[in-house]
A and B are shown apart, each in its own frame.
Chain A
């Protein structure tokens, strides 16, 4: 099963926009933390609809933004949304996390939202990130599928790609092994998703209100920040 087999279908039936909407609750915090200066070059891995680059162009005056995705239909949609929004310094490429098509030291900051765990070899991906970043460049890696987030464990059942489920300390160790200093690590809560009153549970997705609160407000997304 390839990334494009899986995710082209997501793009075709609108799940790219659905993810953007849900991920934005936490992604906006990740993006606002990035120490991006005017003119910087930013790479977004597994860009989906491409919203992180549009947000960085709107708020931080990036020089250039590149979105990489393994699913051609995702890149196609992302390019269209970005043109419609009038950005002319953001481009998209189809590529794989395992062999980034960017020169050594060519990127100031890399970001990835809810995509890293799909990498077929996450340690190789980290080495590639360390390679393309200039010395002192940062990697903001946000994942909602990880060991401590027990509510995410079942996601693997619904997807044909093998997912990586590290815990927070495994993220730190793997970053360091790849030559990225770990700067900081944090859980970013989703404070915006609406959680119904207790009487509405069980819902289609949640057994109990406590479980849903824990998933979104406590665990949220795990952000690990590395520096090359």
Chain B
């Protein structure tokens, strides 16, 4: 046969409808056929979940010992020489039959159904089904619809019992909160009575429901599928960078759908990412520039506002020198915009006091300078060491990926954490350490030693030994982030330096802000230049084109805020940052904003910080402008523009360019492409990554930087050449080497804990007081009350009962809240969510301390 593929050991050839096709071993018929252009109808089959064979729609004829027999294509694996028929009268009859059965009880309320128009049941009925039904009896009736949760509605009449949602909840999300209830014809999907389907991933069930049984409240009756326009983009709710389809109707965003990007999100999204488009649509957006006149912010034209901003900054620079201006933020920005702002800050303003992290991250070198792993690497690694935040709360889809890998037995998880996390129950070992002492624990883990029964950082020697056994295989991937915001990030950096000594160790940074990795790549950090280059190393390379660069590495956010609070730093530019709300030490941030003489805020909303600014410049946000973003793997993927910005809001790079002109500089950018061209030319980590490469179809899932073939390591041994070049004055300057991470010095011991106090641990919740949550009505209601979690032992010791109200005392503040027992919090610690509106741990934290202690009193 002419089109017979060559047979090799890693394919099996099967015949589908008389055509020989090559399939992968172990693959199901339905998948092999689809890849080869034969679509077998299906409802329950989902390529990302285990087959259940419930809907029976995919029946095809497979030749067996007794001749051709109907078999479900979704769970019969391909076998060499297998013969499959998908278009015979027998198959057609079976398809007709199944569709008629499915429609027996399915209401024909398509005109009011949100799924109508994009419904697999509709589509497949038209393509494969009978023209009419012979069912004349009364259909099954249920109340329609019922709330499964605040976000998801269920119409049980429409449900065809395909098990997709329940399977997803159990198998993918690990939240088996919806189940089949009842049996036979009266089977329904439901929750435990009065216990909502409050999963962070509930929106995915709506997306994968093959009928309109599950619908989402934020989209309910908002549009019809044929109204929608769509562009592919990358979610920027966190740093995972899930691929998403952004849909709009009219001028409003209406819906996001997960796109199946194999290396990243497998089609899943978290509910925050899925539903926070409401914030983009918000009526409270800043739509025009604002300039402070006395106590008030007054709307102004761009010209006036830019002039005011430029004048303020120029005055400060003239009076106090270039180091008197600082830029905080930038993680909200796409790469191009971050690059433009980095250039503005470091060249035009001449300051290196630039930090895109808000005291909740890690030093740039620890993120950029350690060998990087991808998500796939982590999921395939023999062992993953988790030293970071609760991924379920901060990087939800990364949690899904790692959870799946752990459940499938592909990898083992060793967790170093000061309180139990979403992954604790899947971890092979969970070492609950005393806050502030993670570096000690890491050292014990890597070096061993210690006594037979000596505890390290509150972790028993036996537990450490068991964990050492697990990581002894080598090639670990370390997921590295901030386990708690109530302790110094430097202790984590120190631990990272220790873990880096494990053979074959690679790192997956777990910083959560949308494009913080892109902003770091683009140089929005002190002592760093675009392209993952240290200021000192890149001075010549960049200086050639950019001119003078700051002489010394600048301050990080903690340094900037401390200096500004003391009145030694006179101007702040807040680049989509809200330190008054998000910085761990809120009091310091508020004092700093008040202390800085002149504040420019580039923002989408008036926040606790920007409402104190002197000039507020309205920025375009997600889905309102194009660009690229970089996820935690270093994967650069494209953002799509779907709607126009409200009012006169501009993209951030345009604001930077215009401001530069008024400050007497010229960034030289007139389009995103022109910026990217400069990034590609100058940033060593992005060399070779052209716009054309990024736009190529093969790059739909993004491109991991640096490219394997990129000429980035050219300069490691060029000292001689450079010296030679100097002599002639002609030779070109070589690309600088990429940043490398030097393990920090061993820090001093943290102070001992007195027996009345508990050491504070804090991290983000998915639903917190972030702008995107607060401005999305569907999500705002999901923010929980903060509860203090304490080990039952300590609770007992303090004579308290779980569920009681207590007074929490810290040197900074006192708050009254509920305390609950949680064995997942180590003894001597107390865990409180960081950024909830009612009980913010951020009010308690003193950023100048290595650890923060609190005391509990009965009310």
Q: Do A and B come from one complex?
A: no
Name A's B-contacting residues (CB within 8 A).
Answer: none
